[in-house]
Amino acid sequence: MLIERLKPDFTHKDDRGTLTQLIRRGYSQINVITSKGGVFRGGHYHELNTEAFYIVSGRCRVTVRKDGKTQTEEFSTGDFFRVGPYVTHDFDYLEDSVLVTMYSLGVELDDGKMDSYVPEENKS
């Protein structure tokens, strides 16, 4: 399995609203992505980073590839998942979406190099 579905650490809900703790530790870089529906993003992999995604709102179809294996899954609001190193990941946004992305090390490494690579078949 190339995509690992995750569960938040906990969710607290009361009449004021909801607090969801996704993780307590283990990630060094956290980004928020907004994307319009009908947009394609991704097409890259990381050699060193494990990357986790939490769908705040919206819906997307994610296709991942590694070592000749392909997996496609659809994710929507509240879904949480992770992909490991060398897993090429593509996102087809089916509607306007907001995601939180978390990287184990960060895309920009301490030596200034970027841990983001486009496979040959995606270069054109």
- Domain extent at residue 16: 3-122
Of residues 72 and 123, more confidence is placed in 72
CATH of the domain at 18: 2.60.120.10
- Strands (E) across 46-117 are located at 51-57, 59-66, 69-76, 80-83, 88-93, 97-103
Mean pLDDT within 72-87: 98
Domain count, the chain: 1
Q: What is the pLDDT of residue 116?
A: 96
Cα end-to-end span (Å), the chain:
28
Task: List pLDDT tens digits, range 43-67.
Answer: 999 999 999 999 999 999 999 999 9
Residue 123 confidence (pLDDT) above 90: no
Q: What is the pTM assigned to this prediction? A: 0.92
Residues 6+ apart with CB under 8 A from 12: 18, 19, 20
User: Which residue's entry shows tokens 């992909």?
Assistant: 83
3 state SS of 52: strand
